[in-house]
Amino acid sequence: MSKLPRNVAFCPCQSGRSYAACCRPFHLGEAVPQTVEALMRSRYSAFALHLTDYIWSTWHPDYRPTLHDLRADHGVQWRRLEVLGADEGPSHGVVEFRAYWRTSTDRGVVHERSSFVKEGGLWYYTVGMELA
Ligand SMILES: [Zn+2]
């Protein structure tokens, strides 16, 4: 977590709150997201800030890529997040969102419905279904 920035005024997940009052405690391991939306937002923020270890550790072990693959830098910058809906039960949840990305030569939007499971009191991302 040596790359964890201290000077991000607004959280990259676009909650409108400061990073320190939003996703940073999750990234530091000081708190655990209690809802699937909070976990999804913190994972998006981690993508935006290139906090690969956090992305990996919140990805269910049965579904996640290798840490090495995840660390590959694709030159993608995540610019904006819109959470369209979230629904959760005791052990399963889904979040639908649009995430806007940019590279030096291209830009686009990922529209996804992410699935989550709760195990041992912790939410984990499993898979995402890309939507039109
Ligand atoms: Zn946040």
* Consecutive 10-residue averages of pLDDT for the chain (132 residues): 66 93 96 97 96 96 94 88 97 98 95 97 97 87
CA–centroid distance, 46 to ligand 1, in Å, is 9
Q: Which amino acid is at 42?
A: S
Distance CA 19, CA 9 (A): 6
CA–centroid distance, 63 to ligand 1, in Å, is 24
Identify whether 18 is part of a domain: no
81 contacts 44 by C-beta, under 8 angstroms:
yes
Full domain range(s) for residue 69: 24-130
The confidence score (pLDDT) of residue 1 equals: 47
Identify whether 11 is part of a domain: no
CA–centroid distance, 102 to ligand 1, in Å, is 20
Identify whether 4 is part of a domain: no
The confidence score (pLDDT) of residue 8 equals: 72
The confidence score (pLDDT) of residue 72 equals: 84
H-state helical runs in the chain: 24-28, 36-49, 52-57, 67-71
DSSP three-state, residue 73: coil
CA–centroid distance, 72 to ligand 1, in Å, is 23
Q: How many domains does the chain fold into?
A: 1
Identify whether 34 is part of a domain: yes
The confidence score (pLDDT) of residue 4 equals: 66
The confidence score (pLDDT) of residue 3 equals: 60
What is the domain-level CATH number for residue 47?
A: 3.10.450.50
Distance CA 97, CA 9 (A): 23
Identify whether 15 is part of a domain: no
CA–centroid distance, 77 to ligand 1, in Å, is 16
Identify whether 125 is part of a domain: yes
Identify whether 88 is part of a domain: yes
Identify whether 68 is part of a domain: yes
